[in-house]
Amino acid sequence: MTDIEQCSLYEKRVKGTFPMPTQEERLAALEKNVTDLRQRTAKAIVEIEENTTIMLGVLRSQGRDIRYIYERLETIEERLDEHTALLKTVDQRLDRLETKVDAVQTTLAQILARLPEKP
């Protein structure tokens, strides 16, 4: 503890009542402050490095997840294309069946028109 810290509040207010710290005391205080600052800075750097490492791990994991999702989307797109082609085939078959049913109905109507009416 320096002489200044030991002085009362009154002594600190009155000019010339407490001794001025020596150059060695001032240098020691400065060195202590620099040491404290270095320690805090070192701790902050370590924390930043740890957080950076964690973030890199998270980013790599998310990159893998994104690649997996992209691959799955490609698979889904391929399957949708296959199903679309199948649906087109089914639509074509249904159109042909409708045409045949229309022809059968027309023929049936002609046959029914030729039959005599019930007595």
Residue 19: strand, helix, or coil: coil
| Cβ pair 18, 11 in contact under 8 A | yes
113 vs 40 pLDDT, higher one: 40
Stretch 5-28: mean pLDDT: 71
Per-residue tokens: 75: 């698979």
Confidence of residue 20 (pLDDT cuts 50, 70, 90): confident
pLDDT of the residue at 87: 98
| Nearest C-alpha neighbor of 51 from the set 88, 3, 96, 43 | 43
Stretch 89-96: mean pLDDT: 97
* pLDDT of 105 strictly over 90: yes
Query: Rounded distance, CA 88 to CA 22, Å?
Result: 96
- 102-119 burial, b for 16+ CB within 10 Å, e for fewer? eeeeeeeeeeeeeeeeee
Domain regions of the chain by residue span = 19-113
Q: What mean pLDDT is reported for the chain?
A: 89
pLDDT of the residue at 35: 96
What confidence tens digit (pLDDT) does each residue in 43-92 have? 999 999 999 999 999 999 999 999 999 999 999 999 999 999 999 999 99
Query: Rounded distance, CA 37 to CA 34, Å?
Result: 5
pTM above 0.85, yes or no: no
Q: Which residue has the tokens 């992209």?
A: 70
Which amino acid belongs to residue 118?
Answer: K
Identify the DSSP state of 16: T
Q: How far does Cα 1 stand from its chain's mean position?
A: 53
